[in-house]
Amino acid sequence: MNKRMTTAPAIIMLVIPCAILVAFTHYPAIMALINSFWNNASSRRPSRFAGTENYQAMLADDRLAQVLVNSTIYALGTVPLAIGLAIGMALLVNSRLPGTAFMRLSFFLPTMLPMIAVANIWLFFYAPGIGLASQILGIFGLPSINFLGQTETALGSMMFVAIWKEAGLFMIFYLAALQSVPTNLKDAAKLEGAGRIRVFIDVVLPLLRPTTIFVAVNALINAFRLVDHVVVMTEGGPNNASALLLYYIYEVTFRQRDFAYGATLTVLMVVLLGILAVIQFWLLNRKAHYQ
């Protein structure tokens, strides 16, 4: 046990697997930083050192400014709503109401589907005229709305899709947490005369705190890295209204073939995620003080 490692097993156990990981995580991250200081090579001349040119372009990029605003609204809008819904769903599924199996299926199904399938389903749901959204509006005598085709509604409609897909996954984590809440705590509170709602707020909710931190951080990271629905449903439009940061990176790099600017945006993304990680650390440490 806990022996010193000899060379041969070390190479098999650590060097090979870690080399693959480093080659596609650390190496590209560093390459993005390096490439962000160079401009694009063309057929006539090779890439040359550009200093902070790409970063100056980034600061002057109005589209990027809007993309960052979109991403912020998207993250801050979807994460708390999905978490709130997830807690509600977990309470329902965990309750002794009839039909919990159907509820669990209904809530969890969207999580199982690929985002691309979810996007297709909602594309159809939102389709002006033919989609269910339009038909429901029609029942109430309202004109049909082109949810994805208007700048005012596009981002909100995408957020709705994300919440629909993610809430069920978060529900699972809350379900696990709820089932580990000691019943004697709840019983004690009830003996003291606390109502159901009071028991939930004063006993259960504080115990869900670690789960909420875990879920919130993962949800935030996910809000940055899952943009499949943007590609399929709106391509960032109309007029940039639903473009998110990773989608913008994809568009700049693979549609406009601007790899240097793509690398610069990647650096921005990594920095933003790094800030998220620091906040997570800070929150978790604060939690440790309570215990």
Partner 1 sequence: MNRGLTKLMLSILTAVFAAVWALPFIYSVWTAFHDERYAANFKWDAPWIFDNFVEAWHAAPFAMYFANTLILITIVLVANLILCTLVAYAFVRYKFRWAGFLFALIMVQLLISPEILIVENYLILSRIGLTNTIIGIALPYLTSAFGIFLLRQTFLSVPKSLDEAAQIEGASTWRILWNIYVPLAWPVYLAYSLVSVSFHWNNFLWPLIVTNSPEVRPLTVGLSVFATVDSGVEWSLVNAATLMTTAPLIIAFIIFQRQFVANFMRAGIK
| 226-285: contacts with partner 1 (CB under 8 A) | 226-228, 231-232, 246, 249-250, 253-254, 259, 262-263, 265-266, 269-270, 273-274, 276-277
Give the separation between CA 4 and CA 15, rounded to whole angstroms.
16
Per CB under 8 A, 147 contacts partner 1: no
Footprint on residues 176-235 left by partner 1 (CB under 8 A): 176, 214, 221, 224-228, 231-232
Residue found by looking up tokens 């978790």 in the block: 284
Q: Is the CB of residue 133 less than 8 Å from the CB of residue 125?
A: yes
Contact 269, 246 (CB under 8 A): yes
Applying the rule CB under 8 A, the residues between 88 and 117 that interact with partner 1 are 92, 97-99, 101-110, 112-117
144: left (phi over 0), alpha (psi -120 to 50) or beta: beta
The burial of 182, by beta-carbon neighbours within 10 Å (0-12 exposed, 13-18 middle, 19 or more buried), is given as: exposed
Judged by CB under 8 A, which of 135, 151, 239, 256 binds partner 1? 135
75 or 115: CB nearest partner 1? 115
| Contact assessment for residue 260 and residue 58, using Cβ atoms and an 8 Å cutoff | no
Contact 136, 128 (CB under 8 A): no
Q: Which is nearer to partner 1, 130 or 185 (CB)?
A: 130
Nearer residue to partner 1 within complex by CB, 128 or 204: 128
Of 75 and 263, which has the nearer Cβ to partner 1?
Answer: 263
Q: Which of 27, 41, 195, 279 binds partner 1 (CB under 8 A)?
A: 27
Least distance CB 50 / partner 1 (angstroms): 16
Structure tokens at 76: 């801050």
Nearest distance in Å: CB 118, partner 1: 8
Q: Which of residues 46-75 bind partner 1 (CB under 8 A)?
A: none
Q: At what angle do helices 259-290 and 209-225 cross, to 10 degrees?
A: 180
- Smallest gap from Cβ 17 to partner 1, in A, equals 4
- The number of residues that bind partner 1 (CB under 8 A) is 87
Report the Cα 43 to chain-centroid distance in Å: 38
For the CB of residue 14, give the shortest distance to partner 1 in the complex, in Å.
5
CB 243 within 8 A of CB 66: yes
- Of 2-10, 52-60, 147-155, 199-207, which segment contacts partner 1 by CB under 8 A? 2-10
**Residue of 7, 20, 44, 60 that binds partner 1 (CB under 8 A):** 20
171 in helix, strand or coil?
A: helix
